[in-house]
Amino acid sequence: MLGWSQDELAKAAKVSRATVVDFERGARVPHPNNLAALLAALEAGGIEFVAANGGGAGVRLTKGR
């Protein structure tokens, strides 16, 4: 949705590229602090995480993005 590369996400989240790569390929679940950093970076970039509310969980771009 944002068009970010793995390097760009890693830089925005201040985690290693290996953390992003391993998470994307399902090799491991990031440590809670790294997962929180990834979430915060995506939210700062304009991603909104939508909780399950009968229609199912999902993501969308925030308004104005």
The CATH number assigned to the domain with range 6-61 reads 1.10.260.40
**pLDDT above 80: residue 56:** no
> Minimal CA–CA distance to 9: which of 44, 61, 33?
44
pLDDT tens across 34-48, in order?
999 999 999 999 998
The residue written with tokens 């590229």 in the block is 17
- The structural domains of the chain, with segments of one domain joined by +, span 6-61
Q: What is the distance between the alpha carbons of residues 7 and 3, in angstroms, rounded to a whole number?
A: 11
The alpha carbon of 22 is separated from its chain's Cα centroid by a whole number of angstroms, namely 13
- Name the one residue in this structure whose structure tokens are 């939210």: 43
Residue with structure tokens 């909104």?
48
Q: Quote the pLDDT of residue 23.
A: 93
Q: Is the pLDDT of residue 4 over 90?
A: yes
Tell me the whole-structure pTM to 2 decimals. 0.81
Q: What is the pLDDT of residue 61?
A: 79
